[in-house]
Amino acid sequence: MRIQQLLYLEKIIEKGSINEAAKELFLTQPSLSTAIKELEQELGIQLLLRSKHGVTPTLDGREFLIYSRQVLDQVQLLEERYKNQRPRKQTFSVSAQHYAFVVHAFVELVKTVTTDEYQLTLRETETENIFEDLSTFKSELGILYLNSFNKQVMKKLFKEKQLHFTPLFEAKPHVFVSRNNPLTKKERLTLEDLEDYPYLSYEQGETNSFYFSEEILSTWNRKKEIKVSDRATIFNLMVGLDGYTISSGIISSELNDDKIIAIPLDHEDTITIGWLKHQQRELSPMATIYLEMLTKHIENYGFAIL
């Protein structure tokens, strides 16, 4: 196995095409294909699925790429130290439920990047997609919550998909409403207080499982309910329709959430928010820095890190 083969494989997966990768590497397509086939034969596994539409990594290929990138990162450190080479493009990806503190930490992470080139991805997405992204190694980290209702089902899925959950903090449920909502006249709210207001929640795609809901009390019967797909829309509907949603209580005024406030909800449930990673994956330096940013931001809101 040669370092050059690892670089070739990374470029092919980045481009999704052996032909396009060969052009950037200034190689012929046959010679590049031969190099990867020799690597597959040496390893005894298939790394790429080849079709007329291009190439995609197999599951073995995705797993191999995790270890390959760690090797290439070490090679980069050697080259920077002894050859003054141009740094490799930094990469990182996180998939999360819709939390402002996740975005805030991502913003802070980007500000720390000193290289001229990077490829960072933040996916605010449905709960099922978080599992898919981690299982296929599209994302390095996942952020979601557990509570008494979904914990048993979620932990079963973690085990099946070889995911490890690390709790970050616990929060009591809060109701998010606009500053102009009549509910703001109360210091605390009950479920009865909410009955006449539109309930806003994030849609969960085809699965739409109650256990995948991003909001607690997902099975509670409501007279008015609106499903949305993104945080900008849910905030707009809070302002425009006096709608509400239920979450952790963390709102980031630095990210234009100044029109929304959080009011404690009288309910005995507790929300545990934490991060996920695949058991076979070691955290990259970028992931470690991101988690540091995330915990610092959470602590700034007065929450104790578990």
- 293: CATH: 3.40.190
The answer to whether the CB of 298 falls within 8 A of the CB of 169 is yes
User: Quick one: 185 and 243 in the same domain?
Assistant: yes
In a domain, 271, yes or no: no
142 shares its domain with 68:
no
CATH, residue 182: 3.40.190.10
Tens digits of pLDDT across the chain (306 residues): 888 889 889 889 888 889 888 888 888 888 889 889 999 999 999 999 888 888 889 988 888 988 888 888 888 777 776 766 566 677 889 999 998 889 999 999 999 888 778 889 999 999 999 998 898 888 999 999 999 888 999 999 999 999 999 999 999 999 999 999 999 999 999 999 999 999 998 888 766 567 888 888 777 788 899 998 888 888 899 999 999 999 888 876 665 567 888 999 998 889 999 999 988 778 888 999 999 999 998 998 888 898
Q: What is the span of the domain harbouring residue 31?
A: 3-82
**What is the SS3 assignment for 182?**
helix
pLDDT of residue 208: 55
The pLDDT, as a whole number, for residue 76 is 78
Is 269 part of a structural domain of the chain?
no
Residues 148 and 285 in one domain: yes
If one counts the domains in the chain, the total is 3
Considering the domain architecture, whether residues 110 and 241 belong to the same structural domain is answered as no
Residue 306 included in any domain: no
CA distance 81 to 14: 26
pTM: 0.71
Question: Which amino acid does the sequence have at 206?
Answer: E
Distance of alpha carbon 179 from alpha carbon 166, whole angstroms: 34
